[in-house]
């Protein structure tokens, strides 16, 4: 099963959760915190948006 490593990618790139929310054009930055909850399972389209915002590949956001 793949594991989401979004938090690790943000830390490596020096991007805060608030900045990540801004890049995703989320009006309420608090919405981004749900992405870090245990068991959160985003759709591929969501992963694609995240990858684009972070300038990484989708596979860089997951760990096998």
Domains for the chain: give ranges and CATH numbers: 3-63 (1.10.260.40)
pLDDT tens string, the chain, 64 residues long: the values are 467 899 999 999 999 999 999 999 988 878 888 888 888 889 999 999 999 999 999 999 998 8
pTM of the model: 0.86
pLDDT value at residue 39: 84
Can you read off the two tokens belonging to residue 63? 């760990």
Alpha-carbon torsion (7, 8, 14, 20), positive or negative:
negative
Burial of 63 (0-12, 13-18, 19+ CB in 10 A): exposed
Please provide the DSSP assignment of the chain as one string: --EE-HHHHHHHHT--HHHHHHHTT-SSGGGGGGGGSTT----HHHHHHHHHHHTS-GGGGEE-
pLDDT value at residue 36: 87
């Amino acid at each position: 099963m793949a594991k989401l490593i979004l938090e690790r990618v943000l830390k490596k790139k020096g991007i805060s959760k608030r900045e990540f929310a801004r890049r995703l054009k989320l009006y309420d930055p608090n919405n981004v915190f749900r992405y870090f909850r245990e068991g959160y399972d985003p759709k591929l389209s969501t992963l694609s948006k995240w990858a684009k915002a972070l300038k990484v590949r989708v596979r860089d956001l997951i760990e096998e």
